[in-house]
Amino acid sequence: MSLIKQQKQQKIFLVFKNNIPIKKSWGQNFLIDDNTINKIINIIKPNNNDNILEIGPGHGALTKKLLDLSNNLYAIEIDPMLCKSLKANYSNLNIINKDILKWEDNEVKYNKIVGNIPYNISSQIIFKFLNKKWDTMILMVQKELANRIISPEGSKEYGRISVMVQNFCKVEYVCDISKNVFHPKPKVDSGILKFNRINTNVDIDNFSLFIKEAFKQRRKKLKNNLKNICDYKLIKDYGEKRPEEISPKRYLILFNKIYF
């Protein structure tokens, strides 16, 4: 069966068999391509020793493959109609019907995270999980965001999220994903990112606030952006630079120098 024919059949299945309306306000773009799903499975390498958290399982295209290889799968989904459908189809799936940004995960332990996450809240989801305990995270995000996350200092894409992720994770841009493998089809392509968590004793919440201040006006020098939170003497080696000229590790050094 050709890819185009396969995708058409899957679209018909999603729309008519489940009879669940697509909600644009929740950023729903469902993955419908088996090749992409298998690619994600090969990256995350699930097994029965893993506790996996899937963000936004949708109709369960990736969920099914994960359950074939792991008995310990938690799926968090905001759409109650999709949750009902998932419960009916996968009795061994632990379903959490909650908003990912409001969910307190104290009752669930997981070492791997995977998800095709909504474009409109991707950054918020990533920031949320930087402050959690896990080993590996595989996310599909908008290609533009993926490039920002991996960008080095000095590039136009480099910013707050680049500094945060690169200080607390080893991150790899695995591959591009065409917009044609989703239904409904988004306007832009995606990218798969692989994050490996770096254990650190840094106060991530306060570090995040510090980086937010540093980047609040990109074209101003660092001494101007940070003048309300520290003495110039503490940042004199970098004060004349603009925020995008300073590496993630240098920001961590500055943070420790100012606050400790």
Could you report the per-residue pLDDT of 163-177, keeping only the tens digit for each? 999 999 999 999 999
Do residue 235 and residue 251 come from a single domain? Answer: yes
Which among 145, 172, 197 is the end of a domain? Answer: 197
Q: Is pLDDT at 10 greater than 60 in this prediction? A: no
Q: Is pLDDT at 22 greater than 90 in this prediction? A: no
Please tell me the predicted confidence (pLDDT) of residue 224: 94
* Cβ neighbours around 109 below 10 Å, total: 12
Do residue 18 and residue 64 come from a single domain? Answer: yes
Do residue 252 and residue 173 come from a single domain? Answer: no
Peptide bond into 80 cis (omega under 30): no
Do residue 211 and residue 114 come from a single domain? Answer: no
Instruction: Identify which of 23, 21, 24, 88 has the alpha carbon closest to the alpha carbon of residue 60.
Output: 88
Do residue 165 and residue 185 come from a single domain? Answer: yes
Which residues constitute the domain of residue 217?
A: 204-259
- What contacts 24+ positions apart, CB below 8 Å, involve 93-100? 93/60, 93/63, 93/67, 100/55, 100/56, 100/76, 100/125, 100/128
Q: What percent of the chain has pLDDT over 70?
A: 93
Do residue 157 and residue 83 come from a single domain? Answer: yes
Q: What is the pLDDT of residues 232-255, one digit of tens each?
A: 888 888 889 999 999 999 999 999
Do residue 57 and residue 150 come from a single domain? Answer: yes
Q: Is pLDDT at 221 greater than 50 in this prediction? A: yes
Determine the Cα–Cα distance for residues 209 and 163; give it in Å rounded to an integer: 12
- What CATH number is given to the structural domain containing 246? 1.10.8.100
Number of domains in the chain: 2
Do residue 142 and residue 101 come from a single domain? Answer: yes
Please tell me the predicted confidence (pLDDT) of residue 260: 78
Do residue 123 and residue 142 come from a single domain? Answer: yes
Please tell me the predicted confidence (pLDDT) of residue 4: 59
Do residue 219 and residue 186 come from a single domain? Answer: no
Q: What is the pLDDT of residues 101-135, one digit of tens each?
A: 999 988 899 999 999 999 999 999 999 999 999 99
Do residue 123 and residue 231 come from a single domain? Answer: no
Which among 174, 197, 220 is the end of a domain? Answer: 197
Which among 197, 221, 246 is the end of a domain? Answer: 197
Please tell me the predicted confidence (pLDDT) of residue 232: 81
**Two structure tokens written together for 206:** 């306060």
Do residue 16 and residue 71 come from a single domain? Answer: yes
Determine the Cα–Cα distance for residues 235 and 227; give it in Å rounded to an integer: 10
- What CATH number is given to the structural domain containing 191? 3.40.50.150
